[in-house]
Chains A and B, each alone.
Chain A
Amino acid sequence: EVKLVESGGGLLKPGGSLKLSCVASGFTFSNYWMHWVRQAPGKGLEWIGEIEYDGTETNYAPSIKDRFTISRDNAKNTLYLQMSSVRSEDTATYFCTTLEAWGQGASVTVSS
């Protein structure tokens, strides 16, 4: 069974940092580009970034570029999202996904 499990969400203040993790199982993790997609409360899905199979290439949406970093550890079947300089508009549920399989999401709230 394909499974993606995010962790690390929480409440943080504007300007703060947080690191999300996503552990994959049930498929060959290193064979897939992995993506982070977020969903603000009551809104649609927003792609925020992706990472190539071995981590050598990453691409980001303009809304988070230079503030968030995506990385992966294929030995641990784990995807990461390092969030820095967060803003209130970063409040959302963050999903890791292959664009076919989806995790349950990690909730991030940015508030003073």
Chain B
Amino acid sequence: DVVLTQTPPTLSATIGQSVSISCRSSQSLLHSNGNTYLNWLLQRPGQPPQLLIYLVSRLESGVPNRFSGSGSGTDFTLKISGVEAEDLGVYYCVQSTHAPPTFGGGTKLELK
């Protein structure tokens, strides 16, 4: 199975600070059809996960544009340009290029 390693496991930020989360894959997530099936999710406390970014860099409808995704192959990054209080929670990367789908271990974003 593909292993996704997220760093850091915990991130402390102040409101307005820009932060990045890394997701590294044990193998390339480039599918033979040319797509890279790497999504980013946010799970706020007590809530289900919600989609932020799909196909590496495409912003889900309704998600603020302070969120951005980048990367290719095995290295991917989620950036938040100016953290807001509502951004606190646990961020997960998930891949579905290779079966079975796998999740990163999560990055908890906290207020400093």
A53 at interface (Cβ–Cβ under 8 A)?
Answer: no
Once bound together, how far apart are the Cα atoms of A100 and B66, in whole Å?
19
Given contacts A100-B54, A101-B51, contact A50 B101 (CB under 8 A): yes
Residues on A with C-beta less than 8 A from B39 are 99-100
Q: What does the 1/0 interface line of B77-112 toward A look like (CB < 8 Å)?
A: 000000000000010101010011111111000000
Residues on A with C-beta less than 8 A from B90 are 44
* Minimum CB–CB distance for A17 against chain B, Å: 24
Q: Is the CB of A35 within 8 A of B101?
A: yes
* Minimum CB–CB distance for A95 against chain B, Å: 6
Interface residue ranges, B against A (CB under 8 Å): 39, 41, 48-51, 54, 60, 90, 92, 94, 96, 99-106
Q: Which residue of A lies closest to B47 (CB)?
A: A104
Which single member of A45, A59, A105 contacts B92 (CB below 8 Å)?
Answer: A45
Q: Is the CB of B102 within 8 A of A47?
A: yes
Q: Which residue of B lies closest to A49 (CB)?
A: B100
A61 at interface (Cβ–Cβ under 8 A)?
Answer: yes
Once bound together, how far apart are the Cα atoms of A50 and B104, in whole Å?
18
Q: Is the CB of A47 within 8 A of B100?
A: yes
Which single member of B41, B49, B103 contacts A46 (CB below 8 Å)?
Answer: B103
Q: Is the CB of A45 within 8 A of B51?
A: no
Given contacts A45-B92, A59-B99, contact A102 B105 (CB under 8 A): no
